[in-house]
């Protein structure tokens, strides 16, 4: 009997369930979006109860679509939007506040206060690999404990639990208040600003600095092992849950970037470039993050350098939803193709400040270079080009940190269907851009982590053998033109600084 592995991908805008066969092919999928709650400028929240309900819906629907039953599935993996923070009541399983999303900037003052204790933005980098920034979970936990009545005391008393979305989904999947497993993996824990990168354990001093009681924290287990069994009435009930990877690390895994020096770029809500650095932890001097790439069972952890870009695909959504210039995200390619170039326009989408390599929470978005000549097509083009220019910034930083220039870039995610963008990306980076046949690398990576734990796949060679190239774009822009445009972009970026302070 053919068997499969299911993966739950709890992302920033939607939740999916995908089922894969042994060759890494998608045999079933379902997806549903959730609400983006924006109570004020710079704040972004999700409703964790809505998200859990969506997990139940998409798992049932995905299996039903392919006529699969529980016995057809061997195991389940989880992947997730990282950093997004949920705090819930251990007794009832009810969240005490909406989830505070990774894009949310409400902890800016807290981050600055912590930096002022000494070391500034770099205070925790030697231990965590991260700058002090609103992006990460630790300060978000503190914000919830400070702003929900009685929460700080209840946390001290051991009544509350914290989790990133992997932990929230796993807790509910394995039984919620009736015996739910409270676990995370090192890829997610490494995004909290609370985990020591060497020991893969919570750093007590940082937790104390940030006012996060250790009793709220989940246990850190590897990315690939059996954490528990799914319970309840859904079709996954009774199956082991045996893989957890943050979504960007999962995509790195799904792209088979399993050797040092291999990198991928995922074009989602934001863009995330990850370079596998092996068991060596490379500390960035150029604004990148050092993060855990994966840890399989009791093997040593593999690390990555990461360039995180907050706004790329979500800028296309913004053009659609907030300006109404396009009706669907897919329309942007045709509109951008209606003009020959950007008409001198550059759009720096610093909606959540700027992440890598700048880490400027004081930055806000700007469109520069406008003249009366500029039309909707130029604006659409500037939106797409912003993704490629931001990617160039983090690849430049990566080349400087690693000392070895990247020779090609594997890409995946929603925007890689956009030919115009992919060609422009190859042009601006001056390296080939390669898209795999299975573009669903995030869910696939989580399936691999889960399947490896139960012997469904035997090891990295199985995963490498499943990876196949679909399409490659080679650079064709001349050097002078490329560098002129990139210089303009860098000038545009400086125009966004010092705005929100």
Q: Cβ 11 to ligand G3P, closest distance in Å?
A: 4
Distances (CA, A) of 244 to 55, 186, 355, 453, 462: 15, 9, 25, 11, 19
Which of positions 94-113 make contact with ligand G3P (CB under 6 A)? 102
* Dist CA 46 CA 369 (whole Å): 35
Residue 127 CB contacts under 8 Å (≥ 6 apart), including other chains: 196, 197, 203, 206
CA-nearest of 87, 381, 93 to 215 is: 87
Least Å distance, CB 246 to ligand G3P, is 6
- Name which of 34 and 125 has its Cβ closer to ligand G3P: 34
Site track for ligand G3P across 11-30, x = CB under 6 A: xx------------------
Residue closer to ligand G3P, measured from CB, 68 or 315: 315
Cβ closest to ligand G3P, residue 81 vs residue 110: 81
Judged by CB under 6 A, the residue of 59, 75, 81, 342 near ligand G3P is 81
Q: Distance between CA atoms of 54 and 15, rounded to whole angstroms? A: 7
Coil, strand or helix: which one is 397?
helix
CB of 401 to ligand G3P, least distance (A): 19
Give whole-number Cα distances, 77 to 85, 240, 336, in Å: 20, 9, 38
265 binds ligand G3P (CB under 6 A): no
Instruction: Pick between residue 164 and residue 485 the one whose CB is nearest to ligand G3P.
Output: 164
Q: Where are the alpha helices (DSSP H) in 130-173?
A: 137-147, 151-156, 165-173
- Does residue number 185 form part of the binding site for ligand G3P (CB under 6 A)? no
Residues in contact with 41: Cβ distance below 8 Å, sequence separation at least 6, in sequence order:
none
The distance of closest approach from Cβ of residue 255 to ligand G3P in the complex, given in angstroms and rounded to an integer, is: 14
Nearest distance, CB of residue 251 and ligand G3P, angstroms: 8
- Counting Cβ atoms within 10 Å, is residue 156 exposed (0-12), middle (13-18) or buried (19+)? middle
| Complex with ligand G3P: residue 124 or 457, whichever CB lies closer | 124
Task: Tell the smallest beta-carbon distance from residue 421 to ligand G3P (Å).
Answer: 16
86 in helix, strand or coil?
strand
| By the rule CB under 6 A, 248 interacts with ligand G3P | yes
Select the residue interacting with ligand G3P from 268, 307, 369, 451 (CB under 6 A). 268
Q: Which is nearer to ligand G3P, 11 or 377 (CB)?
A: 11
- State the Cα–Cα distance between residues 434 and 35, nearest whole angstrom: 33
Residue from 104, 108, 166, 247 touching ligand G3P (CB under 6 A): that is 247
Q: Is omega for the bond preceding 218 within 30 degrees of 0, making it cis?
A: no
Nearer to ligand G3P, 342 or 352 (CB): 352
- How many residues touch ligand G3P under the rule CB under 6 A: the total is 12
Query: Nearest distance from residue 4's CB to ligand G3P, in Å?
Result: 23
Choose the stretch contacting ligand G3P; rule: CB under 6 A; options: 172-180, 211-219, 266-274, 366-374: 266-274
Please, which residue, 133 or 216, has the CB nearer to ligand G3P?
A: 133
270 binds ligand G3P (CB under 6 A): yes
Residue positions forming the annotated binding site: 12-14, 16, 82-83, 135, 247-248, 269, 313, 317, 414, 418
C-alpha–C-alpha distance, residues 448 and 459, integer Å: 9
> Cβ(294)–Cβ(302) under 8 Å?
yes
The CB-of-195 to ligand G3P minimum distance in angstroms stands at: 15
**CA separation for the pair 258, 249 (Å, rounded):** 11
- According to DSSP, the β-strands at 183-184 and 219-220 are parallel
* C-alpha span between 261 and 407 (Å, rounded): 10
- Check residue 82 for interaction with ligand G3P (CB under 6 A): yes
Binding range to ligand G3P, per CB under 6 A, among 67-75, 159-167, 267-275, 446-454 = 267-275
Interior/surface letters 260-291, b for 16+ CB within 10 angstroms, e for the rest:
bebbbbbbbbbbbbbbbbbeebbebebbbbbb
Compute the least distance from the CB of residue 51 to ligand G3P, in Å. Answer: 12
CB of 304 to ligand G3P, least distance (A): 13
How far apart are alpha carbons 316 and 172 in whole angstroms?
A: 33
| 306 in contact with ligand G3P (CB under 6 A) | no
269 φ, ψ (degrees, to nearest 5): -55, -50
172 lies in the site for ligand G3P, by CB under 6 A: no
Write out the binding residues for glycerol.
82-83, 135, 247-248
Backbone angles phi, psi at 487, to 5 degrees: -65, -40
- Note the residues at the interface with ligand G3P (CB under 6 A): 11-12, 81-83, 102, 246-248, 268-270
């Amino acid at each position: 009997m053919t068997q499969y592995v299911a993966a739950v991908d709890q992302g920033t805008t939607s939740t999916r369930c995908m089922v894969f066969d042994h060759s890494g092919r998608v045999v079933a999928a379902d997806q549903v979006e959730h609400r983006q709650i924006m109570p004020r400028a710079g704040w972004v929240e999700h409703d964790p109860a809505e998200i859990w309900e969506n997990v139940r819906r998409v798992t049932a629907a995905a299996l039903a679509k392919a006529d699969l039953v529980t016995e057809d599935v061997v195991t389940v993996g989880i992947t997730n939007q990282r950093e997004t923070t949920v705090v819930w009541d251990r007794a009832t399983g009810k969240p005490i506040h909406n989830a505070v999303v990774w894009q949310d900037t409400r902890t800016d003052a807290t981050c600055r206060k912590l930096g002022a204790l000494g070391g500034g933005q770099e205070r925790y980098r030697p231990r965590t690999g991260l700058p002090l920034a609103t992006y990460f979970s630790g300060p978000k936990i503190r914000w919830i404990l400070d702003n929900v009545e009685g929460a700080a005391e209840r946390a001290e008393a051991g009544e509350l639990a914290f989790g990133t979305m992997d932990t929230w989904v796993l807790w509910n999947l394995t039984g919620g208040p009736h015996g739910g497993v409270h676990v995370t993996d090192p890829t997610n824990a490494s995004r909290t600003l609370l985990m020591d990168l060497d020991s893969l354990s919570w750093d007590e001093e940082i937790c104390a600095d940030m006012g996060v009681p250790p009793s709220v924290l989940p246990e850190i287990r590897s990315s690939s092992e059996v954490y528990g069994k799914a319970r309840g009435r859904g079709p996954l009930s009774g199956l082991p849950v045996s893989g957890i990877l943050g979504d960007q690390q999962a995509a790195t895994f799904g792209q088979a970037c399993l050797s040092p020096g291999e990198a991928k770029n995922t074009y989602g809500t934001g863009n995330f470039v990850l370079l596998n650095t092996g068991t060596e932890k490379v500390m960035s001097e150029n604004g990148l993050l050092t993060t855990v790439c994966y840890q399989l069972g009791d093997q040593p952890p593999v690390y990555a350098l990461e360039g995180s870009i907050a706004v790329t695909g979500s800028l296309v959504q913004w053009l659609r939803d907030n300006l109404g210039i396009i009706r669907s995200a897919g329309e942007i390619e045709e509109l951008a193709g209606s003009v020959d170039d950007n008409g001198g326009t550059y759009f720096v989408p610093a909606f959540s400040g700027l992440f890598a390599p700048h880490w400027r929470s004081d930055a806000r978005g700007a469109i520069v270079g406008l003249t009366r000549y500029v039309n909707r097509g130029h604006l659409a083009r500037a939106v797409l080009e912003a993704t490629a220019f931001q990617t160039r910034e983090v690849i430049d930083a990566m080349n400087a940190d690693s000392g070895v220039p990247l020779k090609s870039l594997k890409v995946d995610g929603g925007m890689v269907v956009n030919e115009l963008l992919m060609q422009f990306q190859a042009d601006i980076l001056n390296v080939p851009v390669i898209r795999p046949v299975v573009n669903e690398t995030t869910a696939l990576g989580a399936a691999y982590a889960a399947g490896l734990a139960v012997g469904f796949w035997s090891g990295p060679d199985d995963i490498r053998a499943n990876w196949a190239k679909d399409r490659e774009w080679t650079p064709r822009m001349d050097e002078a033109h490329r560098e002129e445009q990139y210089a303009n972009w860098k000038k545009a970026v400086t125009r966004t600084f010092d705005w929100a302070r």
